[in-house]
A = this chain, B = another copy of it.
Amino acid sequence: MSKIRIGIVGYGNIGRGVEAAIRLNEDCELAGVFTRRDPATVKITTEGGKVYRISELAEHKDDIDVCIICGGSATDLPKQTPELVKMFHVIDSFDTHAKIPEHFANVDAAAKESGHVGIISVGWDPGMFSLNRLYGNAILPKGKDYTFWGRGVSQGHSDAIRRVAGVVDARQYTVPVESAVEAVRNGENPELTTRQKHTRECYVVAEEGADLARIEAEIKNMPNYFADYDTTVTFISQEELDKNHKGIPHGGFVIRSGETENGNKHIIEYRLKLDSNPEFTSSVLVAYARAAKRLAKEGVSGCKTVFDIAPAYLSPKSGEELRAQLL
C-alpha cells in the first residue's frame, strides 16, 4: 500500500509535532511543510524534507493525500480550513468550543462542494476528551460529566500574564483540585464551582524594579482568566523559568459518574498525562489523517469530527489484525 502523503500547513509547535509524529508512523510520509515565512529561513527536522511557501500549495495538489492545518484557532483556521478543503482533504485542531458549529458549517459546505473530507477539532480537547464524554453519556445516560484539566501549561493564560505591564516572561499552570477529583472518583457527584475545580499557578519574571505587589494584584484580578480562581503568583528569574518551566506538559481527566439499578454506581475515567501537549495533539492529528484518506477512498465528503469516525479507521492494522490483537 502506498504511504499517506501529509502536507503540513504552518510550522509552529503543532506543525513540528506533526512532523515528528509522521516519523513514528511507518505508513505516513511528509509531502512538504508549507509556511507563510520565507522557506529559506525555516529549518525542519526531516532529512530531505521540503519547505514551500503556503501560496505554492495548489502546485502540490497531486503530491499530497491529506493536509494537516497547524494554524491557530483565533484567526488562522476559520479562514484556512474552509479555503483549503476546496483543494485537499484536511485535518485541523480548531479548539474554540463555542464556535465549532459555525466552523463545521463553513467547512462542510466547502468540502461537499469540492468532494473532499475535512475533519475538524481533532486533538485531545476537543478530541479524545470529547469522545470520552460521548461514550460516557451513551453508556450511562443517568449520570454526570466532569472534565478537569492539568496539571499543565495554558499558553493563553501565560500570554495574558505577559501583557501585564512590568512582566518580562511568564508560565501559567492549570492544576486540578485533588480533593475535587477524588470526590468525583468516589461517586459523590459534587456540584463544583469554577474555583473548586482548578487552581492557577503563575511563575512570573518581572522587570527589575517593577512593583511586584501591583503585578500580582493585576494578575489575580484579571477577569475571565484569573479572578474566578485561587491563583498563586511566584516571581522567579528568567534563568529559573528557562531551566524549570521550559516544557509544555498538560493533561487532565474526563469522568462520567453514572448509576444503573438499585443505586449501583459506575465510574468511567479517562486520563491523559502528557509531557508535551503539542506533540500529543499532533499524534492525534496524524491518526485522523489516516482516517481521512480512507474515508476519501470510499467517496465520503463533507465535514466530520471525531464523533463521526469509526475507531478502526485510525489504525494501520486490518480489521482481522485488530480483532485478533486488540479486541
In the complex, the answer to whether A269 meets B270 with C-beta atoms within 8 Å is yes
Greatest chain B CB density within 10 A among A126, A135, A279 is at A135
CA distance A133 to B319 in the complex (A): 14
A280's partner among B24, B266, B327 (CB-CB below 8 A) is: B266
Q: Is A273 an interface residue (CB 8 A)?
A: yes
CA distance A25 to B137 in the complex (A): 11
Given A271-B269, A280-B260, A308-B319; A134-B324 close (CB under 8 Å): no
In the complex, the answer to whether B307 meets A322 with C-beta atoms within 8 Å is yes
In the complex, the answer to whether B266 meets A273 with C-beta atoms within 8 Å is yes
Q: Which residues of A contact B (CB under 8 A)?
A: 17, 20-21, 24-26, 97, 100-101, 104, 121, 126, 128, 130-135, 137-142, 185, 260-261, 263-276, 279-280, 282-284, 287, 290, 305-312, 314-316, 319-320, 322-324, 326-327
In the complex, the answer to whether B20 meets A326 with C-beta atoms within 8 Å is no
Given A101-B323, A139-B287; A131-B305 close (CB under 8 Å): no
- How often does this chain occur in the complex, in copies? 2
CA distance A165 to B97 in the complex (A): 62
A198 to B: closest C-beta gap in Å: 20
* 9 A-B pairs whose Cβ atoms sit less than 8 Å apart in the complex: A132-B270, A138-B311, A138-B315, A260-B282, A261-B279, A263-B275, A266-B280, A267-B271, A310-B310
